[in-house]
Amino acid sequence: MENKIEDQIPMIFLCGPPGSGKTTVGAKACQNLELRFIDLSTPEIDEKPLSSQKEICMEAINNRSADVIALPWSFQEDRSVRKWIRSLGALLLLWAHPLDMQARSGRSEPLFTPSPRIKTKGGFGRNGTGCREFRRLNNAADEVLLLIGRSLDEAVDDLEGYIVDIRQEALEPPMVRAGLSDWVDDWYEDYDVRKDIINIVVDAMARYILYLQSEGKSPRTLSGVYSDLQASGMLVMSYDYPEEGTTSEILDLFSFPPWTIEFKRKFSNSPNAIARYERNLEGFANFLKSSK
């Protein structure tokens, strides 16, 4: 049973530029939490070809030899690698001020691109997030830990809290992790449908949202998916009225965009909104098909 529970807990990948604290803060936090830590952000690994770095990382993942892995900088700079890593676990960004990270990195070449619009702190701003490198990593990460002005002890405490939260959250049901648990009670109250059937539908929708999050979809995209899934669920509960059936039979109600005509009438007749609804529900249908 312990192994099964452990398998549900994602491996946590620490990303961030050289000098962000992945090694120092990561190692200390894991020591305090009695978790296994592997540091792949060393100069020796960072200088290896990307394919070699990927093999080293994959070996650690397959062997489950660590709970937390610090990633090399060159590894993080590749967009396909960031997407691949996020699909395998939780990506946690550590970010200090670029001026501090540059100094601590010991590197002579610039690591960051200051914004010409910002006139403070070297063009990075007081919070140190005014550069495209932060935006790129921020968009890829599941969580962001800003360490601007934090002492080492404070940074370690902050990271410990994030690690504990990520590991505990992973044991929650998908609908809780995706923030959809309220839908079950709301739909049960509003529609004459059994709660176990509603649970099947909401659980599938939650798993789809978590899948999209692991793919690195933007908050704007996820907001649209969330809205359209909610609308489709309400329409199915209103009109298809699934009184019974297997999980597969119930989810077959979403094998195509359901009740598009009623979506136009009840939610929006905007061509863009309708197209988005059909696109998002087709994505959900494909996800259900691949999950069978």
Q: Are strands 89-95 and 11-15 parallel, antiparallel or unpaired?
A: parallel
pLDDT digits (tens, 9 = 90+) for 232-277: 999 999 998 777 789 999 999 999 999 999 999 999 999 999 999 9
Confidence at residue 204, expressed as pLDDT on a 0 to 100 scale: 97
The number of residues making up the chain comes to 292
Q: On the CB side of 209, how many CA atoms lie within 13 Å of its CA?
A: 26
Return the residue matching tokens 């540059």.
Answer: 102
pTM: predicted TM-score of the whole model, two decimal places:
0.74
Residue 56 has pLDDT above 70, yes or no: yes
CATH 3.40.50.300 maps onto the chain at 2-169
For 2-169, give the CATH class: alpha beta
Residue 2 has pLDDT above 70, yes or no: no
pLDDT digits (tens, 9 = 90+) for 127-186: 999 999 999 999 889 899 999 999 999 999 999 999 999 999 888 999 998 999 999 999
pLDDT digits (tens, 9 = 90+) for 189-232: 999 899 999 999 999 999 999 999 888 788 899 999 999 999 99
Confidence at residue 159, expressed as pLDDT on a 0 to 100 scale: 98
**Residues linked to residue 85 through DSSP beta bridges, in sequence order:** none
Are 109 and 85 spatial neighbours (Cβ–Cβ below 8 Å)?
no
